[in-house]
């Protein structure tokens, strides 16, 4: 896909991947509704295959490859969720997957990627090291790169989560998603603004990794630089392809503190009885902290994943 995806591309992606992924549930919480003064609808991608929304984009991208493109396998760099998703999608197509992972990636995510059959190369936890490692892997294998977020096929696949959410709940007036590289947020924005022109699409990110917020304020893409946030899936910079979509279609980027992220994650575990990872808790933190200032009341929240190292819970 060479052009920016439209909602028709997301609908095509939905048809292409529907035999492989779950249509995840939308859950509610009366407790959270009362606390926030809103009606909240949680799209639970933590129940998705590989336990995150990433399987949507990875599967759409892998299934979109020609036989020639796929024949030497696929490669990416990822801190975990996209890596696991790409490995599983490659397994479905019976092709090899090569993954460059930062050596600080959570052990549970490393184990998952290996378990899905990918060949892992570890690197230092910087974007430059990840990209250099990926170039070397591709040079050695000839594999086709599937970027974690800066790929229109991936963006279209990620947009299918919002498509399902709005099909079930067509009267939402706001949608919140976490934002790291921007694949989920840009895919969500494409779908939501096409289906409901009045809707607000809002991204939420850690204050410790606030490049999306700063980029929107500056009017141009800003690199994240070194980050240290409990939301490990959100440490990447916005993509060159995702930023223009977000700049055009997203209403606002909100930032939340590390303490607010951990409190929100624990609250969802305790009150909703579902496991979400810290990256998923970021939009919940915006709601619980009062940082979402819109007067709109019917809010969809995409819980992006549930891959958690139970030996290193952030409140322990």
Provide the annotated active-site residues. Answer: 54, 79
By CB atoms closer than 10 A (0-12, 13-18, 19+), residue 197 is exposed
Q: Around Cβ 97, how many Cβ atoms within 10 Å?
A: 28
Rounded distance, CA 301 to CA 54, Å?
16
Rounded distance, CA 195 to CA 189, Å?
10
By DSSP bridging, strand 74-77 and strand 144-145 are parallel
By CB atoms closer than 10 A (0-12, 13-18, 19+), residue 249 is middle
Closest CA to 79 of 212, 245, 209, 250: 209
For residue 141, the surrounding DSSP H or E stretch is: helix 127-141
Contact 246, 212 (CB under 8 A): yes
Contact 278, 265 (CB under 8 A): yes
By DSSP bridging, strand 298-303 and strand 39-44 are parallel
Rounded distance, CA 70 to CA 226, Å?
33
Q: Give the contacts of 160 (CB within 8 A, at least 6 positions apart).
A: 10, 13, 14, 17, 56, 60, 187
User: What count of residues does the chain have?
Assistant: 316
């Amino acid at each position: 896909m060479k052009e920016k995806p439209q909602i028709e591309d997301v609908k095509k992606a939905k048809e292409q991947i529907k035999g492989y992924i779950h249509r995840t549930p939308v859950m509610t919480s009366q407790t959270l509704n009362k606390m926030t003064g809103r009606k909240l609808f949680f799209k639970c991608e933590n129940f998705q295959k590989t336990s995150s929304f990433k399987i949507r984009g990875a599967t759409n991208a892998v299934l979109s490859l020609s036989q020639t493109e796929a024949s030497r396998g696929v490669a990416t760099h990822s801190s975990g969720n996209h890596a696991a998703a790409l490995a599983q999608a490659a397994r479905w197509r019976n092709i090899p997957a090569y993954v460059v992972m930062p050596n600080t990636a959570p052990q549970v995510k490393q184990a998952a990627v290996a378990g899905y059959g990918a060949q892992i190369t570890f690197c230092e936890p910087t974007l430059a090291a990840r990209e250099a490692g990926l170039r070397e892997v591709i040079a050695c294998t000839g594999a086709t790169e599937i970027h974690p977020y800066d790929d229109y096929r991936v963006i279209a696949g990620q947009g299918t989560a919002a498509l399902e959410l709005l099909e079930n709940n067509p009267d939402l007036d706001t949608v919140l998603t976490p934002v790291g590289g921007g694949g989920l947020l840009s895919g969500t924005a494409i779908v939501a603004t096409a289906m409901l022109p009045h809707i607000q699409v809002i991204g939420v990110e850690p204050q410790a990794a606030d490049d999306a917020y700063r980029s929107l304020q500056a009017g141009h893409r800003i690199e994240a630089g070194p980050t240290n946030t409990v939301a490990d899936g959100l440490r990447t910079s916005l993509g060159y392809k995702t930023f223009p979509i977000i700049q055009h279609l997203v209403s606002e980027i909100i930032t939340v503190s590390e303490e607010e992220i951990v409190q929100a994650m624990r609250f969802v575990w305790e009150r909703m009885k579902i496991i979400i990872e810290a990256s998923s808790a970021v939009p919940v933190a915006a709601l619980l902290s009062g940082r979402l200032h819109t007067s709109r009341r019917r809010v969809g929240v995409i819980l992006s994943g549930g891959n958690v190292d139970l030996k290193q819970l952030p409140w322990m």
